[in-house]
Chains A and B, each alone.
Chain A
């Protein structure tokens, strides 16, 4: 849905976070992916807590990368490692190719001031500052002149739709509005990298949906590189370009939402996907038949369109719908191709169940 380039913004290589008295002995010998699970189990036996275990992933420029996991899965630790709010125990974090973990305190402050923004679950607003002062806070720390502060704050306030609330205090705002302030504050410094730690989890379901839509709208205009944390699988599906599922500090699977649903890596992922309405998640690009050539009579739709949106159109156009990318057709969606894709996804579950049964026997 966004123009995602292949260029890497942020890269996480074998990152570990271990809560222990002294974790260095564990990393004396070279750690590779193969024995990571084993090492993590050994740490637990020793009473240490491995909160992130050998985590590796890339975030591309302009991409929404979602880290999804239940509480205690290490997702919040992970996003804090990326900004060094939590110091990783081991590994590399490359921002534009430079290792963030090697930066001095001074350099880190500078990076946070200009290149990163972060939104928090419970907003993290300063209770003693007005909406305006909260949003201007990062700018005023940098010593940006007042006139420029006013101008930049006005811009982000417009972006998040908070006009007229500048002089309110956080306690006078609803949860949704408070999070708008949080979002505006994180955007005021115009960062390229945007971290959102469960930004909508503290909000009511209705407000949450509305905020998700607005978040997508904002991202459409800003094209930031985003790491988005959530425990809500459906939210992840709705928002993610690519997502990563974590469990017990370990990466379970990385891929696009459709990939995860069609090919869940294990039972754990499959369990999340079980109740997902496939037609809503799968997109034209996931169900099209690339062999078939579109004809001129066929209606044309963008390949990022959800299957749900195509269904009614399909009922009137039995011959199929042309799926387009950047103005040129890449294949045809037909009733048959949709059914094949859906059946494949369902069968995937069954096949796996059958295999498991075999193994256990």
Chain B
């Protein structure tokens, strides 16, 4: 048995305190449910503030919005006016130039799908938003990135602001923008610019700071003026990194454009998915969802290929034609197809009779599947619900009933459970060390009473203690302040619901993801199989991931859980595989020489060494989970995500904002905790993991 440390005593004390508080819960209900009278009226204050903003600055913002509307409408009209065949040809040509015929073929088929399925104008409306928002976001991002590269003071302001912009859930942005800028597609545009510019800032800074000192010195020695040094030495050398930022910005912009369609009135492809989903027309929704997925993939591939493309044939004293070959051919292709379409009218307006719209078939198919396998589906659902989700949420105390588990959770059984829990804890304390015993005691308590029914003072204290243990006083104070805000603002129950759903999804996806990652690191075949799936899931706008799950399991918490897992599992797999594969070769050789079996190598050498990287994976899994949590609120969850929707639906700034900030708080605390843990392990192992 290990020696007791102060921190262990503190944990034991906390668990004991929790049990005492639970014993008192009937006489002091405020311990479980924070009383309404104690809630600080943050929500109304926020609303007063927002009203004041709208009253005072409203006209200014509306004018700005009107000004933005001009170029946006112009692009939208242009894209709608161009014959589909011209757009198709031009995008295919661009794909061919940046990457080659494979991508060209993919782009051609993807765009053809949009035409054939009959979602052309919706797709173009979405594309128009992206086409305006990406250049804006890139320009802002490049400017701010350059500014913070040159000025430490600017960096200190821009850095945290970007962190906040990216952790606040996308939906929460829409609300203040909606109130300030008024109803309309401009809201989506502005939200998407705000959401999408940070990656360009980061990559611009990174790229500029990575330009080798000697390249800059060479530029100076060549006699570059400061302006020449920036535009002809620094920027081109950093260009590849900046373009990677542009790729991320494009994806973020597109995903926000899709999310923003929840406001409606834009007649774009996101709205198509959403409105059909609300009407339970899943076939239609899936067909439109595929359009989004294809658009995302085409944009991703084109911008990524442009970022890594080798510089073309160098130009030495070439003529006008050779230097502008791309532009000339681009124009020629466009004009050629446009001319052709003058004679073949179907190249302008795709005839409706040629459309293939298998929504009904899909619906029938799904219906058939759901009806035919109703028993199986219900079994899966209810099993997961009664045996996994409810115990975590409400505890065995509430969950075990004759209806759900088939027997009564009698006094004797409760006593048995308590004895077993205490026994297991004591065994662990003597055999496995105190930290594990504490973990077991905590889990036993949690499962008996349920996360949402634990007293808030105890949870607050535990989170603070954990933060202190992992990251010191500052982190502990931050955690206490953040969670304290949620309690005071009166959204603690919703917070717990969010933590429960997201936590469960993260836990499950991390366990499954790591298992898959281990397989992928041991077997190249598994790795090759998983990679394209991961790539696809990661480029997919979050919306689309919901569709298949809703089709089969209908709306509800279980569907939300699956959707969150589908998205959050990606980083778990990736980081686990990466961590295991990047264990140093010398260590592997040494272990082989000692005579490790494959199994020992995995368990006793690779896994412990890969742990810090996996921790970063856990960090990302949590971030992905939280991002998806808000979207999942669309299919029926209770929690902060739902509150964001309520705020958005009612135009209630305070409600939406408190919930949005609440999710950001959870995300930031989870982020700092896992980072601190990973750092701690890294120092202990003496390794340095690049993030």
Chain A residues near B (Cβ < 8 Å): 80, 83, 85, 109-110, 112-114, 116-118, 120-130, 132-133, 137-138, 141-142, 146-147, 150, 166-167, 169, 182, 185-186, 189, 195
Nearest CB of B to A93, in Å: 15
Chain B 82-108 per-residue mask, 1 if CB under 8 angstroms from chain A, else 0:
000000000000000000000000000
Nearest CB of A to B213, in Å: 8
Nearest CB of A to B107, in Å: 26
Q: Is B650 an interface residue (CB 8 A)?
A: no
Q: Which of B217-225, B244-252, B408-416, B507-515 contacts A (4 or more CB under 8 A)?
A: B217-225
Q: Is B236 an interface residue (CB 8 A)?
A: yes
List B contacts of A182 (CB < 8 A). Answer: 218
* CA of A141 to CA of B227, assembled, Å: 11
Nearest CB of A to B559, in Å: 49
Q: Is the CB of B221 within 8 A of A126?
A: no
Nearest CB of A to B53, in Å: 45
Chain B residues near A (Cβ < 8 Å): 212, 214-215, 217-225, 228, 232-233, 236-237, 239, 310-311, 313-314, 316-317
Q: Is the CB of A186 within 8 A of B221?
A: yes
Nearest CB of B to A245, in Å: 24
* CA of A63 to CA of B489, assembled, Å: 78
* CA of A275 to CA of B311, assembled, Å: 49
A122-B212 in contact given A109-B223, A113-B222, A142-B223 (Cβ < 8 Å)? yes
Q: Is the CB of B223 within 8 A of A112?
A: yes
Nearest CB of B to A100, in Å: 14
A118-B221 in contact given A141-B228, A166-B316 (Cβ < 8 Å)? yes
Q: Is the CB of A185 within 8 A of B218?
A: yes
* CA of A233 to CA of B239, assembled, Å: 40
* CA of A336 to CA of B217, assembled, Å: 52
* CA of A195 to CA of B217, assembled, Å: 12
Q: Is the CB of B237 within 8 A of A126?
A: yes
Partner of B220, one of A85, A150, A169, A189: A85
List B contacts of A114 (CB < 8 A). Answer: 223
| 9 A-B pairs with least C-beta separation | A113-B223, A124-B214, A130-B314, A124-B218, A138-B222, A118-B221, A112-B223, A120-B214, A128-B236
List B contacts of A133 (CB < 8 A). Answer: 314
Q: List 6 A-B contacts (CB under 8 A).
A: A112-B220, A124-B212, A129-B314, A141-B232, A147-B317, A189-B223
* CA of A131 to CA of B310, assembled, Å: 15
Q: Is the CB of A141 within 8 A of B222?
A: yes
Q: Is the CB of B311 within 8 A of A85?
A: no
Q: Is the CB of B237 within 8 A of A150?
A: no
List A contacts of B311 (CB < 8 A). Answer: 128, 130, 169
* CA of A330 to CA of B238, assembled, Å: 59
A141-B224 in contact given A122-B212, A126-B233 (Cβ < 8 Å)? yes
* CA of A28 to CA of B347, assembled, Å: 82
Nearest CB of B to A69, in Å: 19
* CA of A150 to CA of B316, assembled, Å: 8
Q: Is the CB of A83 within 8 A of B221?
A: yes
Nearest CB of B to A10, in Å: 15
* CA of A142 to CA of B232, assembled, Å: 12
List B contacts of A166 (CB < 8 A). Answer: 314, 316
List A contacts of B237 (CB < 8 A). Answer: 126-128
List A contacts of B310 (CB < 8 A). Answer: 169
List A contacts of B228 (CB < 8 A). Answer: 141
Q: Is the CB of A126 within 8 A of B223?
A: no
* CA of A195 to CA of B218, assembled, Å: 11
Q: Is the CB of B215 within 8 A of A126?
A: yes
* CA of A167 to CA of B225, assembled, Å: 26
List B contacts of A83 (CB < 8 A). Answer: 221
List A contacts of B217 (CB < 8 A). Answer: 80, 85, 118, 120, 124
List B contacts of A137 (CB < 8 A). Answer: 219, 222, 232
Q: Known contacts A85-B221, A109-B224; can you find 13 more A-B pairs with CB under 8 A?
A: A112-B222, A118-B221, A126-B215, A126-B237, A127-B215, A127-B237, A130-B316, A137-B219, A137-B222, A137-B232, A141-B224, A167-B313, A169-B310
* CA of A82 to CA of B237, assembled, Å: 26
List A contacts of B316 (CB < 8 A). Answer: 130, 132, 150, 166-167
* CA of A49 to CA of B214, assembled, Å: 22
Q: Is the CB of A110 within 8 A of B223?
A: yes
Nearest CB of A to B683, in Å: 27
List A contacts of B317 (CB < 8 A). Answer: 146-147, 150
List B contacts of A120 (CB < 8 A). Answer: 214, 217-218
Which of chain A's residues has its CB closest to B215's CB? Answer: A124
List B contacts of A125 (CB < 8 A). Answer: 215, 218
Nearest CB of B to A113, in Å: 3
List A contacts of B219 (CB < 8 A). Answer: 126, 137
Which of chain B's residues has its CB closest to A123's CB? Answer: B214
Interface centre among A116, A124, A167 (most CB of B within 10 A): A124
Nearest CB of A to B221, in Å: 4
* CA of A302 to CA of B251, assembled, Å: 72
Which of chain B's residues has its CB closest to A122's CB? Answer: B214
* CA of A41 to CA of B220, assembled, Å: 33
Which of chain A's residues has its CB closest to B225's CB? Answer: A109
Which of chain A's residues has its CB closest to B222's CB? Answer: A138
List B contacts of A127 (CB < 8 A). Answer: 215, 237
Which of chain A's residues has its CB closest to B236's CB? Answer: A128
Nearest CB of B to A45, in Å: 29
* CA of A80 to CA of B236, assembled, Å: 24
* CA of A141 to CA of B221, assembled, Å: 11
List B contacts of A122 (CB < 8 A). Answer: 212, 214
List B contacts of A138 (CB < 8 A). Answer: 221-223
* CA of A169 to CA of B314, assembled, Å: 9
List A contacts of B218 (CB < 8 A). Answer: 118, 120, 124-126, 182, 185
Which of chain A's residues has its CB closest to B217's CB? Answer: A85
Nearest CB of A to B315, in Å: 8
Which of chain A's residues has its CB closest to B220's CB? Answer: A85
* CA of A121 to CA of B314, assembled, Å: 26
* CA of A83 to CA of B316, assembled, Å: 31
Which of chain A's residues has its CB closest to B232's CB? Answer: A141
Q: Is the CB of A141 within 8 A of B223?
A: yes
* CA of A116 to CA of B311, assembled, Å: 30
* CA of A138 to CA of B233, assembled, Å: 11
List B contacts of A113 (CB < 8 A). Answer: 222-223
Which of chain B's residues has its CB closest to A110's CB? Answer: B223
List B contacts of A141 (CB < 8 A). Answer: 222-225, 228, 232
* CA of A195 to CA of B223, assembled, Å: 14
List A contacts of B223 (CB < 8 A). Answer: 109-110, 112-114, 138, 141-142, 189
Which of chain B's residues has its CB closest to A172's CB? Answer: B310
Which of chain B's residues has its CB closest to A150's CB? Answer: B317
List B contacts of A147 (CB < 8 A). Answer: 317
* CA of A113 to CA of B310, assembled, Å: 30
List B contacts of A85 (CB < 8 A). Answer: 217, 220-221
Nearest CB of A to B332, in Å: 26
Which of chain B's residues has its CB closest to A147's CB? Answer: B317
Which of chain B's residues has its CB closest to A168's CB? Answer: B314
Which of chain B's residues has its CB closest to A111's CB? Answer: B223
* CA of A256 to CA of B228, assembled, Å: 41
* CA of A127 to CA of B316, assembled, Å: 17
* CA of A82 to CA of B233, assembled, Å: 22
List A contacts of B222 (CB < 8 A). Answer: 112-113, 137-138, 141, 185, 189
Interface centre among A80, A128, A146 (most CB of B within 10 A): A128
* CA of A162 to CA of B277, assembled, Å: 65
* CA of A113 to CA of B233, assembled, Å: 15
List A contacts of B221 (CB < 8 A). Answer: 83, 85, 112, 116-118, 138, 186, 195
Which of chain B's residues has its CB closest to A134's CB? Answer: B218
List B contacts of A169 (CB < 8 A). Answer: 310-311, 314
List B contacts of A129 (CB < 8 A). Answer: 236, 314
Nearest CB of B to A168, in Å: 9
List A contacts of B224 (CB < 8 A). Answer: 109, 141
Interface centre among A116, A118, A186 (most CB of B within 10 A): A118
Nearest CB of B to A163, in Å: 14
List B contacts of A128 (CB < 8 A). Answer: 236-237, 239, 311
